[in-house]
């Protein structure tokens, strides 16, 4: 009987601490999810910015080329 009483008390303590542990686990998971989402968004934004810069540079080179052709034709 004393062993059963100890085991019963252990189970009670686990049951009482379970909601707190669950809340902590949920909070930690939520924070981790937010952190991962923010990091993913930052990576996407950085890649988009680099892609835009490359596209912009390409357009600028095309403009320069067309301007040079235009000047040659008018001479």
pLDDT at 2: 66
Predicted confidence at residue 20, as pLDDT, reads 84
For 64, the token pair is 């320069």
How would DSSP label each residue in 9-42? HHHHHHHHHHHHHHHHHHHHHHHHHHHHHHHHHH
Provide the domain count of the chain.
Answer: 1
24-36 as b/e, with b when 16 or more CB fall inside 10 Å? eeeeeeeeeeeee
pLDDT in 10s for each residue of the chain, 75 residues: 566 788 888 888 887 778 888 889 899 999 999 999 999 999 999 999 999 999 999 999 999 999 999 998 887
Domain containing 69 equals: 1-75
Cα→Cα distances 23→5, 27, 48, Å: 28, 6, 37
């Amino acid at each position: 009987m004393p062993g059963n009483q100890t085991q019963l008390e252990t189970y009670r303590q686990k049951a009482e601490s379970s909601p707190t542990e669950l809340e902590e686990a949920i909070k930690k998971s939520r924070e981790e999810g937010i952190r991962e989402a923010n990091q993913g968004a930052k990576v996407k934004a950085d890649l988009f910015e680099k892609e835009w810069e490359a596209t912009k540079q390409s357009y600028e080179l095309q403009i320069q080329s067309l301007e040079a052709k235009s000047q040659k034709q008018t001479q």
